[in-house]
């Protein structure tokens, strides 16, 4: 049921291909609910170094000088995420926008582009998934999206919430919610009463203001926020970006055809879950376009997808630059595109004679570039 509504909303809503310009383009990451880390390869490395910067967005280095990214962010030089800032220019005329498979009922072209860089960055080659991921498959998502603020935010949402598309968001203070029930209420005053005038206490004991003493100052904060109960919660972005990985699970069994402006993608979907999330539950945000989805099948890491789009709530604060629980990430299912990728790469032949000649980063050329961001809105099923 929900799938139907989402698909309809994605198709019917005005998908925004916005010119997104920011003064800071020096890095970007998926937002992870449980950490602001994950900016280096995990112990079981899926291929973190192959995730590179493409302007203010992300691309994946496949091997043999080939790069794969989202078509809507455009082709061009890539910059490695290894601290050297080594940049590799695109080989002129090497770009191929990929096609949806015949018979898929989708548009001819899709939101993926494959191209070559002029020199070998010396990174390993990736394996592209030959078969789709199943429901609940645990995946790693990685990209150069906005960093998040440290503290989780809760909003009261009015307007037509929870249906319709005119939502009015008001940030709430749940400071007095010392028992973390999601509401400032009697559970919190009970804790305060139990520890009344005690010192050496923590927030969980009722010390709301952090002076370690439970007293009328804490009670006053609880009173001021009494009854506050959030409708939605999530994270606001910082202005900085970093390549970061997170985890999630596929929550669609087959691929979905998702329309992004003029093209369709055959996509897998993840949802940013507050409860029952994975260890590093994550959501793609602005800057993650072109990032990768990695999956370990029978002990072998695969590149299973490319991050293309997100679905966010109506009038969501910070748009696609923030992450609210319930948001979704749409990821091209590369098993649908593998045959074309492999045929293009094979036709060009390998090139072992090119030495690795990294050029210095030219960050000034990248800053201020117009970058398309695809936004999708959907209306959440309630209850
Ligand atoms: Ca409470
Ligand atoms: Ca106190
Ligand atoms: Ca999830």
- For residue 16, what pLDDT is reported? 29
Judge if 326 and 359 occupy the same domain. yes
- Give the model confidence (pLDDT) of 273-331 as tens digits: 998 999 999 999 999 999 999 999 999 999 999 999 999 999 999 999 999 999 999 99
Specify the pLDDT at position 275: 87
Mean pLDDT of 123-141: 96
CA–centroid distance, residue 249 to ligand 1 (Å):
30
Considering the domain boundaries, does residue 97 fall inside one?
A: yes
How many domains does one find in the chain? 2
* In a shared domain, residues 205 and 310: no
CA of 36 to the centre of ligand 2 (A): 28
| Last-in-domain residue among 187, 204, 229 | 229
CATH number of the domain within which 194 lies: 1.10.1330.10
* Ligand 3 mean position, distance from CA 278 (Å): 7
List, for residues 167-208, the tens digit of each pLDDT value: 999 998 888 999 988 899 999 999 999 999 999 999 999 999
Q: What domain range includes position 7?
A: 2-150+234-377
**Do 201 and 238 lie in a common domain?**
no
Q: In terms of domains, do 180 and 126 share one?
A: no
358 pLDDT tier (thresholds 50, 70, 90): very low
162 inside domain: no
Same domain (yes/no): 208, 248:
no
Q: Which ligand has its closest atom nearest to the C-alpha of 178?
A: 1
Domain-ending residue, one of 190, 205, 229: 229
Residue 109 belongs to some domain of the structure:
yes
Residue-averaged pLDDT of the chain: 84
Asked whether the predicted pLDDT for residue 6 surpasses 50, the reply is no
How far away, in angstroms, is 30 Cα from ligand 2 center? 36
Give the pLDDT confidence of 59-111 residue by residue, as tens digits.
Answer: 999 999 999 999 999 999 999 999 898 999 999 999 999 999 999 999 999 99
Q: How far is the CA of 232 from the centre of ligand 2 (A)?
A: 27
- The last residue of a domain, from among 196, 229, 262: 229
What residues sit around ligand 1, an ion, with C-beta below 5 angstroms? Answer: 177, 179, 181, 185, 187-188
Q: How far, in Å, is the centroid of ligand 2 from the Cα of 218? A: 5
Compute the average pLDDT of residues 131-143: 97
3-state secondary structure the chain: CHHHHHHHHHHHCCCEEEEECCCCCCCCCCEECCCCCCCCCCCCCCCHHHEEEECCEEEEEEECCEEEECHHHCCCCEECCCCCCCEECECCCCCEEEECCCCCCCCCEEEEEEEEECCCCCCCCCCECCCCCCCCCEEEEEECCEEECCCCEEEEEEECCCCCCCEEEEEECCCCCCCCCCECCHHHHHHHHHCCCCCCCCHHHCCCCCCCCCCHHHHHHHHHCCCCECCEEEECEEEEECCEEEEEEECCCCCEEEEECCEEEEEEEEECCCCCCCCCEEECCCCCCCCEEEEEECCEEEEEEEEEEEEECCCCCCHHHCEECCCEEEEEEHHHCHHHHHHHHHHHCCCCCCCCCCECCCHHHHCCCCEEEEEEECCCCCC
Residue 197 falls within a domain, yes or no?
A: yes
Q: What is the pLDDT of residue 63?
A: 95
Ligand at shortest distance from the CA of 198: 2
Convert the pLDDT of each residue in 14-58 to its tens digit. 222 222 222 222 223 689 999 999 999 999 999 999 999 999 999
Please report whether residue 346 resides in a domain.
Answer: yes
Whole-number Å distance, alpha carbon 183 to ligand 1 midpoint, is 4
- pLDDT surpasses 50 at 352: no
User: What CATH number does the domain containing 328 carry?
Assistant: 2.40.10.120
Question: Does 99 reside within a domain?
Answer: yes
Cα of 330 from ligand 3 centre, angstroms? 12
Specify the pTM.
Answer: 0.79
The pLDDT of residue 173 is: 84
Ligand 3 centroid–CA 262 distance in Å is 28
């Amino acid at each position: 049921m929900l799938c139907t509504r989402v698909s309809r909303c994605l198709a019917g809503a005005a998908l925004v291909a916005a010119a997104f310009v920011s003064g800071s383009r020096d890095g970007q990451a998926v937002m992870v609910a449980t950490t602001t880390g994950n900016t280096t390869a995990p112990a079981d490395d899926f291929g973190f170094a192959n995730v590179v910067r493409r302007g203010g967005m992300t691309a994946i280095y496949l091997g043999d000088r080939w790069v794969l990214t989202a078509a809507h962010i455009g082709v061009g030089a890539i910059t490695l995420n290894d601290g050297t800032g080594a940049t590799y220019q695109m080989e002129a005329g090497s770009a191929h926008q990929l096609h949806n498979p015949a018979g898929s009922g989708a548009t001819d072209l899709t939101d993926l582009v494959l191209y070559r860089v002029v020199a070998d960055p010396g990174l390993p080659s990736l394996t592209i998934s030959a078969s789709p991921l199943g429901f609940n498959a645990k995946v790693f998502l990685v990209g150069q999206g906005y960093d998040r603020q440290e503290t989780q935010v809760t909003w009261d949402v009015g307007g037509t919430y929870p249906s319709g598309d005119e939502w009015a968001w008001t940030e709430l203070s749940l400071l007095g919610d010392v028992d973390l029930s999601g509401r400032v209420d009697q559970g919190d005053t009970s804790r305060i009463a139990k520890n009344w005038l005690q010192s050496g206490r923590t927030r969980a004991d009722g010390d709301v203001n952090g002076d370690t003493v439970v007293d009328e100052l804490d009670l006053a904060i609880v009173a001021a926020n009494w009854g506050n109960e959030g409708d939605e919660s999530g994270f606001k972005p910082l202005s900085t970006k970093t390549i970061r990985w997170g985890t999630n699970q596929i929550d669609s069994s087959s691929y979905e055809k998702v329309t992004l402006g003029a093209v369709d993608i055959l996509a897998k979907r993840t949802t940013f879950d507050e409860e029952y999330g994975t260890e590093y539950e994550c959501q793609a945000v602005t800057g993650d376009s072109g990032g990768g989805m990695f999956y370990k099948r029978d002990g072998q890491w695969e590149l299973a997808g490319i991050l293309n789009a997100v679905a966010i709530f109506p009038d969501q604060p910070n748009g696609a630059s923030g992450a609210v629980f319930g948001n979704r990430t749409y990821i091209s299912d590369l098993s649908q595109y593998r045959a074309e990728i492999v045929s293009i790469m094979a036709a060009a032949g390998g090139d072992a004679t090119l030495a690795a000649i990294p050029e210095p980063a030219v960050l000034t050329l990248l800053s201020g570039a117009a970058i398309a961001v695809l936004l999708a809105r959907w209306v959440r099923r309630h209850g």
